[in-house]
Amino acid sequence: MASSKKTSKKTSKKTSKKTSKKTSVKKRLCYVIMPFSKHVGIDEDEWTDVYETIFRPAIEGSGFGYRCTRSSLTTGNFTKDIVENMKNAHVVLADITGFNGNVMWELGVRHSLSPRTIMVSRNNITEKIVISDLATYGVHFYDNHGRAITEFKKEIKNVLKEFETNPDKLDSPVFDFLGSEERIISSREHQIKIQKLTGLLSELLENLRVVDNILDDVYSLSLKNVTFYRLNYVALNELLITNYISINKLPAVLNVLRNWILHSNQGLDTNAEYLNEDFTDEFKTERLDTTKKNLKQVRDRTNRLIPIIQSIILGIKTGTFDESIEPEVIIPDDKYKKLLDVN
């Protein structure tokens, strides 16, 4: 008998633990903003009745796990409490009947802080006109009698169901504006990237023209014009340093091309000096051949890079370019590479 009592006690403890876990699930807040005192012919008691018999049952009885609370007239830091509730509430229900000043102020705060706002208005009053800008986002009308209340509860349940499937849907003029502004900013950023890449493309094409001209001079062994040619890498350098476009292995390709450009420019500088020195033609030709090999590397790698840059520009314009790739930094020395680790 004693063991059965112990077993029953253990079972009851387990059951109570399970029960307490179920009952301790925190419900999400739906904050209701509505008039307190007499407004558009409706007195304080009737507003309270609307909250207790329509709004609160509609929210808490929806089956989506909400607790409902209403702003109240209290002393102290009233405004701070309201703003905090406007920010933290998962859903806000705003009764905009007759456009009560306090309610509209609170609605504006909510629209600035978060989506998921349900706007409602009393149906059987004279002042049931809705501001056109707000009507765009949907206003749900209600009546304070039996069947109408039932229909209103169904309507609110459908809205809450939509919030469950699409919690970040834009339902505020403020968020709509910010969303469009982000799109404008994003569009502007894309334009800047296209401009920079077009500048890089121009630089590559100009280098290609210069290399062809230099190689023509080299083949004819006419050294005079070689002294006026140098290759540019300003736009190439900017992409390497700022990483304004991230694409796998591109930095490595750019870095190798930059090195060949540096070697070629160094060779051109050296050859220009040799023109005024008493070196043999054989030596000058040997140095020129080395420069020629460097320039051929520049030409070959530039010809391979140009289609890549063109495809990136096209991808940005058509929205098909993947910008989620982590930027790659070229640092050959592991000692300095460790300094990049910010984790």
Which DSSP state fits 54?
I
pLDDT of residue 75: 46
Return per-residue pLDDT of the chain as tens, 343 residues: 444 445 444 444 554 444 444 445 688 999 999 998 888 888 999 999 999 999 999 999 999 999 999 876 554 456 778 888 888 899 999 999 988 888 988 998 888 888 899 999 998 665 555 666 677 788 899 998 888 999 999 999 999 999 998 887 778 777 776 665 555 556 778 888 889 999 999 999 999 988 988 887 654 444 555 556 789 999 999 998 888 888 888 888 999 999 999 999 988 887 666 555 565 667 667 777 888 899 999 999 999 999 999 988 888 887 778 766 666 666 666 665 565 565 5
List the Cα angle 170/176/177 in 5-degree steps. 160
Contact present, 170 and 138 (Cβ < 8 Å)? no
Phi, psi of 118, deg, nearest 5? -105, 120
CA torsion, points 30, 31, 32, 37, in degrees to nearest 10?
Answer: 150
Residue carrying structure tokens 């505020």:
172
pLDDT of residue 277: 56
At 309, list the tokens: 């840059």
Kind and range of the H or E element at 92?
Answer: strand 91-95
pLDDT of residue 94: 94
* Rounded Cα gap, residues 257 and 204, in angstroms: 10
In Å, what is the CA distance from 185 to each residue of 174, 177, 193, 243, 316?
A: 16, 12, 12, 19, 14
Handedness of CA 13, 18, 21, 23 (dihedral sign): negative
Total residues found in the chain within this entry: 343
* Rounded Cα gap, residues 167 and 215, in angstroms: 63
Contacts of 66 (CB under 8 A, 6+ apart): 27, 28, 29, 30, 59, 60, 90, 91, 160
Phi, psi of 221, deg, nearest 5? 55, 30
pLDDT of residue 22: 47
Find the distance separating the first CA and the last CA of the chain, reported in whole Å: 61
pLDDT of residue 21: 46
pLDDT of residue 20: 45
pLDDT of residue 173: 76
Q: Residue 125's CB: how many other CB atoms inside 10 A? A: 13
Q: 3-class DSSP state for residue 117?
A: strand
pLDDT of residue 158: 94
Residue carrying structure tokens 């005079």:
224
Q: 3-class DSSP state for residue 17?
A: helix
Phi, psi of 53, deg, nearest 5? -105, -15
pLDDT of residue 323: 67
pLDDT of residue 330: 65
pLDDT of residue 196: 92
Query: Could you tell me which residues are beta bridge partners of residue 29?
Result: 67
pLDDT of residue 2: 47
Contact present, 141 and 117 (Cβ < 8 Å)? no
